[in-house]
Amino acid sequence: MIGGDFTVLSSRAYIAITGEYDVASGAAYSLVLLLPGLLVFLVQRYWAERRSVVSVTGKPSGNITLLRSPLARIPLLTVVLAITALIVAIYVTVFVGAFTAILGVNNTFTLANYRYVLSGIGSDAMFTTTILALIATPVAGVLGMILAWLVVRKVRRGRGALDFLGMLGLAVPGTVLGIGYALAFNKPFIIGNIQLLPALAGGGAIFGGALAIVMVYVIRSMPSGQRSGIAALQQIDPAIDEASTSLGASGLRTFRSITLPLIRPALLSGLTYAFARAMTTLSPIIFITTPQTKIMTSQILSEVDSGRFGNAFAYCTILIAIVLGVIGLMNLLIRDRRTPARVN
């Protein structure tokens, strides 16, 4: 949207497929884009997993030392306030632009942008995006917790490979993931005369391509739940699981009845992130959306490409409201569950 004549690999791959209809070139650009992404991810994993164990017992002593020197406080506060002002300005611009005819050209107040968005295609996109995100969120959260449980508790050999495979959805650039899905699932998978899998992406896809979009949402959101689950499980003594097993409980029952309640905050954190990520994902799904399945982020991109920035701003404000509303409900659920009961 803001690149202009400055070209990067992701935008070049997008133009090659959607503008030049050259799938082979788009795949080649994606391969070049994939290599540095995976390299950085592998380097990060190497440094993060270096063995360094520190044991701290007892209650920490000492007081927090506040930074009182103006020579240090003023520059730090200036940087923080500048970044904060930039972020606030972005949101204010989006909000004001949604109620403006043409922001910066014709600043007349209008509700036409919302009337356009809330009727026809806009309402359909909002409903479809929210439903698909709500479907993908629990799947991504539960799969992330199961992977974390397997990595920390069950798998001894190959746990690093399993953890790495689970994190690939985050390590692989979204453009590469979207092109991969578009190429892999745009035709039915047939062996002999038996169709094992129908087309999941493209114009002839089952459910209008909605299933492929849910799959992308899950793959992109699952790593967050996986990492939060691993962090939570590493703080729980394995003796708890061993006690359950010694009493005759199966591994699945131990996970469902013992482990899962203990890591519930991590699960809810993963669910919150999964929903927000699904609602705001763009780069992977622009290659697999169909006329039957309209997604809000894809519609925002279409409005910007057509020069209708007011409609795009209105889409953005509604998208932000939906995401913040669901996150607020999840935080309220966590707070209510954690509030201790009063004893009279």
Q: How far apart are CA 193 and CA 9, in angstroms?
A: 40
CB 119, CB 127: distance < 8 Å: no
The span from the first CA to the last CA of the chain, in angstroms, equals 60
Q: Is the pLDDT of residue 106 over 90?
A: no
Phi-psi region of 58 (alpha: psi -120 to 50; beta: other; left: phi over 0): left
183-186 long-range contacts (CB < 8 A, ≥24 apart) are 183/23, 183/27, 185/212, 185/288
β-sheet bridge partners, residue 109: 100
Q: How many domains does the chain have?
A: 3
- Tokens for 167? 């994190």
Is 79 part of a structural domain of the chain?
Answer: yes
Kindly tell me the sign of the dihedral angle through the C-alpha atoms of 277, 280, 282, 285: positive
Q: How distant, in Å, are the alpha carbons of 213, 296, 299 from that of 293?
A: 9, 10, 11
Domain that holds residue 14: 7-48
Which pLDDT does position 56 carry in this prediction? 43
Q: Which amino acid is at 227?
A: R
The dihedral built from the CA positions of residue 206, 207, 213 and 218, taken in this order, carries a sign that is negative
In this predicted structure, which of 141-145, 231-235, 271-275, 278-282 has the lowest mean pLDDT? 231-235
Q: Which residues contact 311 (CB under 8 A, 6 or more apart)?
A: 113, 116, 117, 122, 303
Structure token digits, residue 103: 């922001």
Least confident stretch, 30-39, 167-176, 186-195: 186-195
- Kindly state whether residue 67 falls inside one of the protein's structural domains: no
Q: Is 123 part of any domain?
A: yes
The whole-number pLDDT of residue 129 equals 92
User: What letter represents residue 311's amino acid?
Assistant: N
Residue 314: the pLDDT is 93
Q: Are 279 and 159 members of one domain?
A: yes
Beta pairing partners, 290: 293
With contact defined as beta carbons under 8 Å apart, do 220 and 132 qualify? no
Q: Are residues 184 and 203 in the same domain?
A: yes
- Which of 88 and 142 is assigned the larger pLDDT? 88
Q: Given pLDDT bands bounded at 50, 70 and 90, which one contains residue 50?
A: low
Question: Could you tell me which residue, 292 or 4, shows the higher pLDDT?
Answer: 292
- pLDDT of 35 higher than 90: no
* pLDDT band per the 50, 70, 90 thresholds, residue 156: confident
Structural domain includes residue 299: yes
Instruction: Please determine, for residue 344, whether its predicted confidence score (pLDDT) is greater than 50.
Output: no
Q: What does the alpha-carbon distance between residue 226 and residue 267 come to, in Å, rounded to a whole number? A: 9
How many other C-beta atoms lie within 10 A of the C-beta of residue 322? 18
Average of per-residue pLDDT values in the chain: 82
Contact (Cβ atoms closer than 8 angstroms) between residue 230 and residue 269: no
pLDDT at 95: 94
Whether residues 37 and 118 fall in one domain:
no
Q: Output the domain CATH number for residue 148.
A: 1.10.3720.10
207 and 246 belong to one structural domain: yes
Do 126 and 207 have their domain in common?
yes
For 241-261, how does the pLDDT look when each residue is reduced to its tens digit (9 = 90+)?
778 778 887 777 877 788 777
Answer whether residue 52 shows pLDDT above 70: no
Rounded distance between C-alpha atoms, residue 320 and residue 290, angstroms:
23
The Cα–Cα gap between 223 and 167 comes to: 5
Same domain, 95 and 126: no
pLDDT of residue 343: 41
The burial of 111, by beta-carbon neighbours within 10 Å (0-12 exposed, 13-18 middle, 19 or more buried), is given as exposed
Query: Is position 53 within any domain?
Result: no
Q: Are residues 292 and 151 in the same domain?
A: yes
200 and 286 co-located in one domain: yes
60, part of any domain: no
Based on the fold, state whether residues 227 and 252 are members of the same structural domain: yes
Residues 296 and 327 in one domain: yes
21 belongs to a structural domain: yes
Same structural domain, 141 and 180 = yes
Looking at residue 315, what is its pLDDT? 93
Q: What was the pLDDT predicted at 174?
A: 85
Percentage of the chain exceeding pLDDT 90: 19
Residue 182 lies in a domain: yes
The pLDDT of 309-338, averaged and rounded, is 83
pLDDT band at 84 (very low <50, low <70, confident <90, very high): very high
Instruction: Check whether residue 91 and residue 179 sit in a common domain.
Output: no
**CA distance linking residue 130 with residue 125, whole number of Å:** 8
Residues 6+ apart with CB under 8 A from 198: 188, 205, 206
